[in-house]
């Protein structure tokens, strides 16, 4: 992959292009040449640094072999144009975003043989309950690290929200469906004594004549101050 990027961003092309042309070529090369690999494999840090080095040298040194002055930090170059950058993609962030797309597809797509295989292989109770272990494949471990972790504390889970819908996918305690907050984070004490952990919203309540009614289950009787917290919880989700 590095050799292919280097071949596209060779010295003679840099000498024949303006700064705008070099930036445009850098964007198109990163989007086309390594796209397949970055969307399937987690690139080593050394590979990402090497590709970024080739990009920087092509933009600032006009493709020359000797080093030239970089007038702007590469981090600023990789910022969106709205933030004053040139919109060049950061290789490592681009790699993580492409890998996280597998997670997005798992959450959004209803059916798929690949999804059925992953759910069966890793004993996933829900689309957000996947885990990583020593017995997982290297691809699954890389995917797991790319978007954070399955418990929902990674950057991916903090960037999305849920629409409850029929209540057959969103977990009551573990998913951020109430104003983009997880109930287990807002009410950790109640979560610790709940029997509804890992259950979806549709399993924690039902429709009655007067409307939707919650049926929360507990391991033991609540203390007085826990009952107050339960009232706060019910007021929040009504």
User: Tens digits of per-residue pLDDT, 29-69?
Assistant: 877 888 888 988 889 999 999 998 888 888 887 656 666 77
pLDDT for residue 64: 60
Q: Which two tokens stand for residue 109?
A: 């797509």
> Is residue 147 within 8 Å of 96, Cβ to Cβ?
yes
Give pTM, 2 decimals. Answer: 0.70
pLDDT for residue 212: 84
> Is residue 184 within 8 Å of 174, Cβ to Cβ?
yes
Backbone dihedral angles phi then psi of residue 33, each to the nearest 5 degrees: -65, -55
Residue 219 has pLDDT above 70, yes or no: yes
Query: pLDDT tens-digit profile of 97-137?
Result: 898 888 888 877 777 888 888 878 776 655 455 555 667 78
Residue 220 has pLDDT above 80, yes or no: yes
pLDDT for residue 152: 53
Burial 170-206 (b: 16+ CB within 10 A, else e): bbbbbbbbbeeebbbebbeebbeebebeebbbbebbe
Query: pLDDT tens-digit profile of 162-211?
Result: 778 778 888 899 888 888 788 998 999 999 999 999 898 989 988 887 78
Rounded to the nearest 5 percent, the helix, strand and coil shares of the chain are 50, 5, 40
| Confidence band, pLDDT 50/70/90 cuts, at residue 149 | low
How many CA atoms are closer than 13 Å to the CA of 159, on its beta-carbon side?
A: 10
Q: Is the dihedral of CA 27, 32, 33, 39 positive or negative?
A: positive
């Amino acid at each position: 992959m590095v050799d292919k990027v280097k071949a596209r961003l060779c010295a003679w092309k840099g000498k024949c292009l303006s700064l705008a042309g070099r930036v445009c070529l850098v964007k198109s090369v990163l989007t086309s040449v390594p796209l397949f690999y970055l969307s399937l494999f987690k690139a080593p840090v050394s590979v990402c640094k090497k590709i970024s080095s080739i990009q920087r040298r092509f933009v600032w040194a006009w493709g020359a072999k000797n080093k030239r002055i970089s007038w702007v930090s590469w981090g600023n170059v990789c910022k969106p144009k709205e933030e004053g950058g040139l919109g060049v993609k950061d290789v490592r962030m681009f790699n993580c975003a492409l890998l996280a797309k597998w997670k997005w597809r798992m959450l959004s797509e209803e059916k798929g043989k690949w999804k059925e295989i992953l759910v069966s292989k890793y004993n996933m109770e829900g689309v957000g309950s996947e885990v990583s272990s020593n017995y997982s494949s290297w691809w699954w471990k890389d995917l797991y690290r790319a978007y954070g972790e399955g418990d929902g504390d990674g950057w991916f889970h903090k960037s999305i929200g849920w629409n409850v819908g029929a209540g057959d996918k969103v977990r009551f305690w573990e998913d951020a469906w109430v104003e983009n907050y997880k109930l287990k984070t807002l009410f950790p004490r109640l979560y610790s004594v709940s029997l509804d952990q890992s259950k979806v919203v549709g399993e924690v309540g039902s429709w009655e004549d007067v409307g939707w009614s919650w049926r929360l289950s507990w391991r033991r009787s609540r203390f007085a101050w826990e009952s107050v917290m339960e009232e706060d919880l019910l007021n929040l989700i009504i």
